[in-house]
Amino acid sequence: MSNYKVPTMAEMAASGESPEILFWVGCAGSFDDRYKAVTQAFVKILNKVGVSFAVLGPEETCTGDPARRAGNEFLFQMQAVANIQVMNGYNIKKVVTACPHCFNTIKNEYPALGGAYEVIHHSQFLQSLINEGKIVMKGGGEFKGKKITFHDSCFLGRANNVYEAPREIIKALDVELVEMKRCRTKGLCCGAGGAQMFKEPEPGKKDINVERTEEALGTGASAIAVGCPFCLTMMADGVKNKEKENEVKVVDLAELIAKDLGLD
Amino acid sequence: MSILPQVIFLVIFVAAGYVLYRRISFLKRNIMLGKKEERNDQPGERWKTMLLVAFGQQKMFKRWLPAFLHFLVYAGFIIINLEVAEFIIDGFTGQHRIFAPFLGGFYTFAMNAFEFLAVGVLVACVVFLIRRNITKVPRLTMKELKGWPAMDANLILIIEICLMMVILKMNAADQILASRGVEHYTQLGTLFFSSLLTPLLEGFSTSFLVFTERAAWWFHIVGILGFAIYVTYSKHLHIFLAFPNTWYSKLQPKGEMTNMPEVTNEVNMMLGIPTEGAQESPAEIGRFGAKDVNDLSWINIMNAYSCTECGRCTAECPANITGKKLSPRKIMMDVRDRAEEVGKSVDAGGKGLEDGKSLLGDYTTAEEINACTSCNACVEACPVNIDPLSIILQMRRYVAMEESGSPAQWNAMFQNMETSFSPWKFAPTDRFNWAESVKDEEIK
């Protein structure tokens, strides 16, 4: 048996190889304790399926998304241009990321700054692996036969019209996908987009993630599936706020698959 | 035959035309207070968007009841214009029902269709009044609508109800007169809805009915001309601006924020990257982001004038739903109010933009714009493709880059990104630590 491999672009370049895809990990995927598990789950799937990939490792930096949305265009562009220089230096063509904010920024905003790549969200990538028969699911693991609801990330859904890939993944498990009333184009934000993740919310009646969590809990689902690190944090906080963390899990799509394949 | 009515009609028509021309010039100038922006690419896609969204009402049909009622008023408005054309020709020529002899049975059919639409508009407007004033649909009774906006909405509905009732009354009187063989009046066959009114009028003398018919005719056509002028002062301007507004829609993915090329040049210089045209002296940079209406694009201001204050944006806004001060509708109303204020000041020889006030601060507050999650719910919800998010983000740029006035926690985040290349304060060298434990595991 061999160990899981996490090659970096630098190592690949040193040995004269070039991977098929760059896995863009993102800051949350690198530093957030909870979301690191998602990064690890995704990397295990890539290893298991035998996808040729690499990460930037220490060479990766923030895409600049929160700076841009908070209004600091200089800082955004400093980050973006530096990242583009690194990616163009490795002649990268195809990028896969588990973060819809990184996805949106690299896909839609880097081209104007000289960085044009094919950018795929991990839900789309995983769905294509399922469709190609490279991932064969076993039936849902701990969630088998139970209800799962999917919380649309604004930056994946409304911002980029990706609604079906995450749902196709859930449907590939032996679980029941239940929709919240506000879903797809009418989905309710988790409250973290637009750099809200990095400050306290403005005063109001309640926090957005609590409102959203109440709706998710209302479906009676035993798991809330997400495809975004910010949504994961916000929904998990919401579930804790409602003291339901023992009954309702908040899980990323990659984790659902990894659990199903027994990789966790 | 006296030509006095024709002369009066001509005078009213020309006067209305002149006032309308002045109003349109005023609005156009206000919209052009905004910065130039070219958005003429992909004409095919733009025509398609306009046909689907404005002409086809595509985004209205997310909820059937308001959509159906709106469609009645919309179809009524578009189609009844054919009848208005006849009114205008009759007004100029002194004829009555000039098309009737040419169209015969079809004319009767068309009049019945118009009456049907008139009743449809009437019913819809009554339901709209009930929704606003009695059942108080939340998005139609929020606090930014207090005062003139609420009055404006009710006035429009009442004017439309009056105009439609008058058409029916006119037709009823007209048909009684025709049946009495009075000169000038043509018997048309049954007009279904107005014939329901004839019993109310049959007892009156011919001269009174002629007076009633004429009064209704004048009320309707002068009312329509007056309404056309009123619309330019009202949120109801969306009936015209919805068309250019959807044509100039943003066609890129909703998540894409507009790039600032003037910043790119500076960033490239700082990072030592050669840029095209770098030899030229840098163009004068006006202001980063938007503080006032003239910093916005003209499309942003046209968006504001296209807003009919329906509040679908605000009803979907997660910040607003959870009680924050942000209301995308209010942002659009603020932009329009400020453009109006500047325009009026310029016309009065006043200070215009230099009046010591600005959009950000005097109309919209930092608390409102800071609450936005950039989730695009407002953009998605707008039936005429207005983009409040664009304006919010431009104001944030002004606060961050010109005032360094972002919330303290955002400034801390900026600092983390500058020093650690992550919004969180972690050592950049730890970025790849997550891989350690994975690499130690055997593939299962």
Q: Where are the domains of chain A?
A: 9-127, 137-261
A184 touches chain B (CB under 8 A): no
Average pLDDT score over residue span B277-281: 54
Distances (CA, A) of B297 to A47, B34, B302: 49, 5, 9
Taking residue A82's Cβ as centre, other Cβ atoms within 10 Å add up to 18
Confidence band for B281, pLDDT divided at 50, 70 and 90: low
- What is the reported pLDDT for B277? 57
**In this predicted model, what pLDDT tens digit does every residue of B27-64 receive, in sequence order?**
999 999 999 999 999 999 999 999 999 999 999 998 89
The whole-model pTM stands at 0.96
pLDDT band at A141 (very low <50, low <70, confident <90, very high): confident
Full 3-state SS string of B62-128: HCHHHHHHHHHHHHHHHHHHHHHHHHHHHHHHCCCCCCHHHHCHHHHHHHHHHHHHHHHHHHHHHHH
In this structure, which topology does domain A9-127 adopt according to CATH? Answer: Rossmann fold (3.40.50)
Share of chain B above pLDDT 90, in %: 90
Average the pLDDT over B97-116 and give the result.
Answer: 93
Q: Is residue B426's pLDDT more than 60?
A: yes
Q: How far is CA A194 from CA A152, A214, B303, in A?
A: 16, 22, 22
Please compute the mean of the pLDDT values over residues A2-6 and round it to a whole number: 95
Average confidence score pLDDT of chain A:
96
Task: Say if residue B282's pLDDT is above 60.
Answer: no
Domain boundaries, chain B: 3-32+63-247, 289-406, 414-443
A107 contact partners, CB below 8 Å, separation of at least 6: A117, A119, A160, B253
In this prediction, residue A264 carries a pLDDT of 84
Does residue A171 belong to the interface with chain B, where contact is any CB pair within 8 Å?
no
| Class for the domain spanning A137-261 | alpha beta
The pLDDT of residue A258 is above 60: yes
Q: Is B279's pLDDT higher than 60?
A: no
- Least reliable range by pLDDT among B146-150, B271-275, B329-333: B271-275
Query: What is the rounded distance in angstroms from the CA atom of residue B284 to the CA atom of residue A161?
Result: 38
Q: What is the mean pLDDT of residues A191-219?
A: 98
Band (B416; pLDDT cuts 50, 70, 90) = very high
pLDDT of res. B120: 96
Q: B104: alpha, beta or left, given left = phi > 0 and alpha = psi -120 to 50?
A: left
Q: For chain A, what percent of residues have pLDDT higher than 90?
A: 95
CATH of B3-32+63-247, one of 1.10.1660, 1.10.3470, 3.40.630, 1.20.950: 1.20.950
User: Do the Cβ atoms of A202 and B260 come within 8 Å?
Assistant: no
Average pLDDT score, chain B: 95
Q: Is B186 on the interface with A (CB under 8 A)?
A: no
Specify the length of chain B in residues. Answer: 444
Is residue A185 pLDDT above 80, yes or no? yes
What are the structure tokens assigned to B322, written together? Answer: 């959870």
Confidence of residue B421 (pLDDT cuts 50, 70, 90): very high
Residues of A in contact with B370 (CB under 8 A): 199, 202
Is there a contact between A208 and B255 if contact means CB atoms under 8 Å apart? no
Q: Which residues of A touch B315 (CB under 8 A)?
A: none
Q: For testing the chain B interface, which of A42, A51, A198, A257 should be mutated: the one with the most B CBs within 10 Å?
A: A198
- Chain B nearest-CA distance from A223, in A, is 22
Distance CA B140, CA B153 (A): 10
Residues with Cβ < 8 Å from A209, sequence gap 6 or more? A190, A191, A192, A234, A235, A237, A238, A241
pLDDT tier at B273, thresholds 50, 70, 90: confident
pLDDT at A51 over 80: yes
The answer to whether residue B285 scores a pLDDT higher than 70 is no
Which pair of structure tokens corresponds to residue A79? 């980050």
For residue A164, pLDDT beyond 90: yes
> What pLDDT score does B148 carry?
97
Q: Residue B252 and residue A1: Cβ atoms within 8 Å?
A: no
- In this prediction, residue B365 carries a pLDDT of 98
Mutate to test the interface with A, among B321, B373, B429 (most CBs of A within 10 A): B373
The predicted complex's ipTM stands at: 0.97
| Dihedral of alpha carbons A30, A31, A35, A41, sign | positive
**Is domain B289-406 annotated with CATH 1.10.1060?**
yes
